[in-house]
Structure 1
Amino acid sequence: MQFAFQMSVDSSFPECARHDKSEDLTNQVLLNIAAKSPANWPAALQYDKPPAFDTVERIMLPAALLRKSASLGKARLLLLVDEQGSVSVAGMEGADEPTLAASLKAAVATWKLRPAQRDGKPTTTLLTMPMILRVAEFPSDLAHPFVQVAQGGAALLHTRHDTLPGVETLDAPLQAFYQPAIEIPEVNDPSLSGKTVEASAIVDKTGRVHWPEIITPVQEDIDAAVLHRLGQWRFHPPLRAGKPVVARLKVDVTIP
């Protein structure tokens, strides 16, 4: 859909979370979207029932950047939510580093919302999402998507993957209980077809995946898509000699 205005991150768009005085969003409510769109919006974007979050996968911030600084600052995204509830980034402020921007876009592309409605029918609209980009520990699986969630994993951030035993040394192959498929974004360069993206990640003693990294980069958006989905995987605890251990997982993804 084409709109006759510039898609910039504008404060007039409803936000996905409310602010407190410090603007620290880690404890804020996600499902806090304006009930109605502003009256001065273009008709094509107006709604009388707001969109609602359905599926939100946690954002995987680049480990290489977080090793330099535990906080990557703030960003503000303009999200386009279409009539099917698919989400894409239409504008961005902050997150100027290319791999960081690619990581945010890769995460948002996997999100699913219940679309906004106008007169009882699904409609396309825009939302802004403010973010604080830093490592954060959380006490449960109720992970806040605005920040890199590193429950039990912050201590592993500076661990070199090649110093860990590979999963092939375990008592038995890893057993996944959550492993969404890695989806490669549309490739416009025919020369990339057939190339392999090699990635690695740390699997902790509980089976959580932490700090995925690209070994052989191909293209920023493709690399980011691989890292994002790899970071969502969960396994049963990896065992060696009958005891839970931290292990290195390597994954190869071939571009179709």
Structure 2
Amino acid sequence: MSSACAAWAVPTGCSRRDRIFAMRLLLLLCLSWASLVPAAEPAAALRYPEDFFVAYGKAEPDLRVELRGDAEGVVLHARVLSSSRPELEEDVTRALLGWRFRPDREEGRPVAWTREIGFVFAALPAADAPARLKKEMRVFYPEGKTWKGADPEILLEAAVAADGEIKSVRVLQSVDPELSLAAVLAALRRGRACEPAQREGKAVAGLLRIPLVLTTLPAAVKRVMPEYPLELRKSGNQGDVQVAFTVTAGGEPRGIRVIESAHPALERAVVEALGQWRFAPATRRGQAVTEEFSMRLPFSLQNAPLSMLRLTAAEPYALSGELRFPENLPEEFRYDQPPQVKLAQAAAYPFELLAEGVTGSATVNAVIRPDGRVQEARILNATRPEFGLAARAAMEAWEFEPARKQGKPAWALITRETKFERSGRDAPGESALRLLRVLKEGQPDIPGLADLDALPLPVHQPVPLRPPGSRGADIGGTVVVEFFIDRDGRAQLPRALSSPDEGLAWAAVTAVSRWQFTPPLRGGQPVDVRASVPLEFHPSVAPPAGEP
């Protein structure tokens, strides 16, 4: 019986009925106490990490155990594979049951897992400098969970590896098991969130106590739903957009970042609508605080007009279908499951060719790494050189869920044709064409930023990406991009006025084509405005990613 329960005694001198009642009450109290013990706290003679801890990088651990867990990360079975202390095997395996780890993931979903872990029977080595968090760790109330009174505080103790990753967590202080679980999961998801402990100038494993105060999530109080782009609806295209942003203490969204987007037109619609949302801000200790927030918005044809339902709903850039590879394709690029588009970037229509009404196409192939980033993109053919440069720059900015081979992320080689047309799903849009007509006619003059009531505020401003691989790695300098901000705040018709390298120029133009602002105003009325911006590129200091 635990020490907490042993502190209770059944009174003597009572009737048998009273003694039975007291024993039942004692048992109930013991069970209630046990139910409050967090899952990360071993209920065995051995304590973690005072008596044993994970053998971080140790070649010959004192104990090697095979653990099997469920999709929630909870250990369900522990089996000793090797041990130098047989007398302690049972205590260790009993202590491990109920621990929680980050589960494996397949196709983005948590699944049951099996792994081997080594342990050492000793206290963690003393350190000259303790481990510390790189930034404040916050924990949010689970969805639907409320708390009366002051926000509760939770104290965690984390085992931090020499690389700064949080390997395991236990709860030292908490008032609620559900909140304890939320805190443990939040800590484990942070990964390498710490500066490791130091001993004699070297990073070593160590313990870190983490005090946490729970925070309420921001809640939307004003929603403006994004408009489904007509051309995508006509094409039968649907998909999701995932965004992350900061909700200020005043409840306004700031610093919108697009994490996933099935099509650039969907991205623009979401950013434009989200700028009008308002939130009840996050609170901590009763005070409104600035907090990060993310959300996913779906675009579906389920509620589209009947005239559109005859079309097949599909993601605009889905890379699927029967897998056929050229006979000369290297084996490392032959995958079982194709990569899927995570973030699509439209090619910026070359300004001069659009103004002249020139249409055409370009075909580009791209090598996609196992992390979903583009390693290299090459122009295979193009009806005009500018189309090829624009298509390549756009492909270099794409992000993917990587291809999979035998269940693991793999390299992939894809080919895509980009069409440059003045109408259709991927065309520049009516606002860009209207601005071209205004420029051609010369009346009225398009004002500059100095003519506005106030400078437009950036709502979405992705940073230009340096071309991947070795191309342009040793080139730095400033690219000056001219563009227009239309009446809705969208960047239109970007072009490079000066640049030290054409690859950097197209990378800058491609990024600016995604920018969005608050609508520019003159005399209180929305207007189009001309703007320019210098974008600095620094020479790459890191070597290019290795070939497969």
For the pair 1:46 / 2:334, whether they are aligned, the reply is yes
Q: Does 1:201 align with 2:483?
A: yes
Following TM superposition, by how much is the alpha carbon of 1:148 offset from its aligned partner in structure 2, in angstroms? 4.2
Tell me the CA shift for residue 158 of structure 1. 4.7
The correspondence of residues 56-67 of structure 1 with structure 2, limited to 5 A, is 56-67=344-355
3-state secondary structure, aligned to 1:129: strand
Deviations 1:33-61 (A, max 9, x none): 23535484432111111110000122102
Percentage identity across paired residues of the two chains: 24
Write out per-residue CA displacement over residues 224-247 of structure 1, whole angstroms, 9 at most, x where no aligned residue: 111111111011111111110000
Query: What is aligned with 2:499?
Result: 217
- Contact persistence 2:367–2:377 (CA under 8 A): yes
- Counterpart position of 1:6: none
SS of residue in 1 equivalent to 2:509: helix
Pick closer, same or farther for the CA change 1:107–1:217 going to 2, 3 Å: same
Aligned equivalent of 1:241? 523
What corresponds to 1:154 in structure 2?
433
Distance 1:48 1:35 in 2: 10
SS in 2 for 1:153: helix
* Aligned with residue 421 of structure 2, among 110, 134, 144: 134
Query: What is the one-letter code of the residue matched to 2:343?
Result: T
Q: Is the 8 A contact 2:335 2:405 kept in 1?
A: yes
Partner of 1:69: 357
CA distance in 2, matches of 1:172, 1:70: 36
Q: Distance in 1 between matches of 2:340 and 2:537?
A: 33
**Structure 2 Cα separation of the partners of residues 32 and 184 of structure 1:** 25
Q: Do 2:381 and 2:388's aligned partners in 1 also have CA atoms closer than 8 Å? A: no
**Alignment match, 1:181:** 463
**Residue 19 of structure 1 aligns with which residue?**
none
Partner residue of 1:102 out of 354, 365, 389: 389
Task: Give the deviation of 1:149 after TM superposition.
Answer: 2.7
* CA spacing shift, 1:92–1:175, aligned 2, 3 Å: same
**Contiguous gaps of at least 5 residues in structure 2:** 1-313, 539-548
Are the aligned partners of 2:349 and 2:390 in contact in 1 as well (CA < 8 Å)? yes
> 1:68 & 1:61 partners in 2: Cα distance?
12
Secondary structure, counterpart of 1:180 in structure 2:
coil
Once residues 466 and 336 of structure 2 are traced to their aligned partners in structure 1, the CA distance between those partners, rounded to angstroms, is 35
What is the aligned counterpart of 1:116 among 397, 403, 411?
403
Q: Normalised by the size of structure 2, how large is the TM-score?
A: 0.37
For 1:130, what is the secondary structure of its paired residue?
Answer: strand
Alignment check: 8 A CA contact 1:178 1:233 kept: yes
Query: Residue 416 of structure 2: SS of its match in structure 1?
Result: strand
2:513 is the alignment partner of 1:231: yes
TM-score (norm 1): 0.75
State how far apart, in whole Å, the 2-side matches of 1:216 and 1:131 are. 25
Paired residue for 1:125, among 409, 412, 417?
412
Q: Report the RMSD for the aligned CA atoms in angstroms.
A: 2.6
Quickly say closer, same or farther: Cα 1:91–1:255, change in 2 above 3 A.
Answer: closer
Partners of 2:326 and 2:378 lie apart in 1 by 21
Q: Per-residue deviation at 1:253?
A: 1.7
Secondary structure of the structure 2 residue equivalent to 1:149 = coil
Letter of the 1:92 partner, please give it. Answer: L
Looking at CA atoms only, which structure, 1 or 2, has the larger radius of gyration? 2
CA distance change for structure 1 residues 184 and 116 in 2, over 3 Å: closer, same or farther? closer
- Kindly indicate whether the alpha-carbon contact (under 8 Å) linking 1:79 and 1:91 is maintained by their aligned counterparts in 2: no
Partner SS, residue 135 of structure 1: coil
Compared CA separation, residues 81 and 132, structure 1 to 2 (3 A): same
Confirm or deny: 8 A CA contact 1:37 1:46 kept in the other structure. Answer: no
Is residue 447 of structure 2 the alignment partner of residue 165 of structure 1?
A: yes
Offset at 1:117?
0.4
Does the C-alpha gap of structure 1 residues 78 and 254 become closer, same or farther in structure 2, counting only changes over 3 Å?
Answer: closer
Per the alignment, residue 7 of structure 1 pairs with none
Alpha carbons 1:63, 1:157 under 8 Å: kept: no
Q: Is the 8 A contact 2:361 2:387 kept in 1?
A: no
Q: Distance in 2 between matches of 1:198 and 1:42?
A: 41
Residue-pair matches, total:
217
Does residue 365 of structure 2 align to residue 78 of structure 1? yes
